[in-house]
Structure 1
């Protein structure tokens, strides 16, 4: 007991999902536009990566300068601390001997 009116509508539904040449053309045009956009984005990415590599070299150089300055400051401040401590010790020793 099947309904004979359903068969044509099911057939029409199946036929409507089959792509026509116009829809294929539209889909291909859309894919072409997406590919063009992807190509442009990849070109931009390549340029950005190239600039990032150049900047990374510059940052590496700055890191070297900063490290050198920290080492120099550590040496200078370390010498002042050692000289200041030894000078204070000798002053305290000399004042103690004078007081006696």
Structure 2
């Protein structure tokens, strides 16, 4: 919708001038609310990432432990199969 009349003069606003400040205040309050929610979500994300890093390190240790168990089992089973073939 064009803000100018066919003669090129600006169209008068339909809303009263005093409500412009109210609308702006409402928009600012809404933006402040969204910013608070964003800040909260970022804090939650930071905590989750920190926890994920700790869990990833624990998974690394668990993987090493399992690898050691598989190598030990392979050595034991390999020795038994050599003994059985003799």
TM-score, scaled to structure 1: 0.69
Which protein has the larger Cα radius of gyration, Structure 1 or Structure 2?
1
Structure 2 alignment gaps of length 5 or more: 1-5
Point out the structure with the larger helix share.
1
Does 2:52 align with 1:52?
Answer: yes
- Alpha carbons of structure 1 residues 40 and 84: separation in structure 2 relative to 1, 3 Å: same
Distance in structure 2 (CA, Å) of the matches to 1:62 and 1:24: 56
1:41 alignment partner in structure 2: 41
- Structure with the bigger RCO (C-alpha within 8 Å, sep 6+) is 2
Matched, 1:20 2:20: yes
**Distance between the aligned counterparts of 1:64 and 1:16, measured in 2?**
72
CA distance in 1, matches of 2:42, 2:49: 10
- Counterpart CA distance in 1 for 2:14 and 2:73 is 79
Partner of 1:84: 84
User: Normalized against structure 2, the TM-score is what?
Assistant: 0.79
Alpha-carbon offset, residue 16 of structure 1: 4.1
Instruction: Work out the CA distance in 1 between the residues paired with 2:31 and 2:25.
Output: 10
Task: Provide the C-alpha distance between the structure 2 equivalents of 1:25 and 1:84, rounded to a whole number of angstroms.
Answer: 86
Segments of 5+ residues of structure 1 without an aligned counterpart are: 1-5, 87-100
Measured in 1, the distance between the counterparts of 2:74 and 2:14 equals: 80
